[in-house]
Amino acid sequence: MNLKLYFSPTHRKWLSRLFLGLFSVSLLFPITASIVNQTGQVYWVAGSVDVSVAFLCLFVSIVLITTENQMDTPAMLEKRLKVLTYLFNLPLVILAIYFLGIKLNWEVLLIGLGWRVWLFTMTLPYVIRAFYRKSMD
């Protein structure tokens, strides 16, 4: 069964903005938790909100991916490469924080950031298509 949803370019832009907003909020949870939670305690309320926002972000990502059927243009590929180049330089910042000896809960930070980076890199082409498409529909 081939499930393809159709949304207009305006709806895809709105979904892309929603994804970026949810992703930004979702990104704050592991960063804040790694700074605040040094003892490894479980905070049920914060964890529940984190998981809820993460599922919403994943759901919006799936909807974005299933509504797209266009091929990339060279401009879109160039934009994606530029964003990924900046994104893949962020581990150097994390490495610098580690060498500076800043106390963080590294398990929370790396697990939380790891899957979010994966989700972002998988959704990025569809977000770029939503914003940089000429009216092809």
- Pair 66, 4: CB distance under 8 Å: yes
Q: How does residue 1 score in pLDDT terms, banded at 50, 70 and 90?
A: very low
Q: How many structural domains comprise the chain?
A: 1
* 80 in any annotated domain: yes
* 1 in any annotated domain: no
Other C-beta atoms closer than 10 Å to the C-beta of 30 total 23
* 96 in any annotated domain: yes
pLDDT tens digits for range 69-114: 666 778 778 888 888 888 888 888 888 988 998 888 888 888 889 9
* 4 in any annotated domain: no
* 3 in any annotated domain: no
**What CA–CA distance (Å, rounded) separates 56 from 75?**
29
Q: What mean pLDDT, rounded, does the chain reach? A: 84
- Pair 6, 63: CB distance under 8 Å: no
Q: pTM of the predicted model, to two decimals?
A: 0.80
**What CA–CA distance (Å, rounded) separates 93 from 110?**
13
CA distances from 56 to 22, 51, 59, 60, 117 (A): 7, 9, 5, 6, 16
**What CA–CA distance (Å, rounded) separates 64 from 13?**
10
Determine the pLDDT at residue 24. 94
What's the average model confidence in pLDDT over 19-35? 92
The domain of 58 spans 9-132
